[in-house]
Amino acid sequence: MTGLSVKDITYRYGAKTALDGVSFDIPQGAFCALLGPNGAGKSTLFSLLTRLFVAPVGQIDIAGHNLARDPRAALAKLGIVFQQPTLDLDLSVRQNLSYFAALHGLSGREARTRIDSSLERLDMLPRAHEKARSLNGGHRRRAEIARALIHTPSVLLLDEPTVGLDAAARAAITGHVHRLAQDGTTILWATHLTDEVWPGDQLVVLHHAKVLTQGIASQIAGDMPLRDRFLAMTAAPA
């Protein structure tokens, strides 16, 4: 079954083409890394996947729901971790998560149970009562990932979630999210850092608004480290 399907997406800002005929499918429960240098079109693709804006051409299906025809059903299946931090720093972790739960129509005991279990999954339950401002960068990110899981989405999108974190926090978060995929959540993880991609991951390489290649990371890397392969691919004129 397909977790996330992107077909023939093209998007322009005036004369500049941000995405040109982008297509890929991610099977349910797979971890797919969307690798691309800065400016490749990753953030535009995320804005289209989250319906912050709408693509005039192409089709997006989230867990079988068409985003254009049935946006609310599709968005209900989607968990999102934005590149920018979106926690309200004056509120506690739990208050932040409760606000989000309510946006998804969850309140009362059900919301509390779900918030507890998703904080538990990210080892964040002991910090539930701390103000977001007092958390370090890695813990803030984990709180945001926990928040994105409250409504048990089938597909989780993460837009460069490790920006600004130290190596240990990066490794911890990358590990956490890979485990979520093993539990059956479809993951799309945008990054420009090859060390966040594991050999068995699905990989889509985006460059100059187009999909340069896609497949299993280890097969794309071939006989050289993925980092070198990626640099070689993106250095060549597209």
Question: Minimum Å distance from CB 121 to other proteins?
Answer: 20
Cβ-based nearer residue to other proteins, 160 or 201: 160
CB 40 within 8 A of CB 209: yes
**Around Cβ 117, how many Cβ atoms within 10 Å?**
14
Question: Minimum Å distance from CB 216 to other proteins?
Answer: 29
Two tokens, residue 72: 């609310």
Cβ-based nearer residue to other proteins, 50 or 202: 50
Two tokens, residue 213: 């290649």
Local structure of residue 187 (DSSP, 8 states)? E
Two tokens, residue 132: 């977001």
Cβ-based nearer residue to other proteins, 31 or 100: 100
Question: Minimum Å distance from CB 18 to other proteins?
Answer: 9
- Residue 56 has phi, psi (to 5 degrees) of -70, -25
**Footprint on this chain of other proteins (rule: CB under 8 A):** 13-14, 43-44, 47, 50-54, 56, 71-73, 75-76, 78, 80, 82-86, 88, 90-91, 95, 98-100, 102-108
Question: Minimum Å distance from CB 206 to other proteins?
Answer: 14
Cβ-based nearer residue to other proteins, 102 or 224: 102
- Decide the pairing of beta strands 202-207 and 210-216: antiparallel
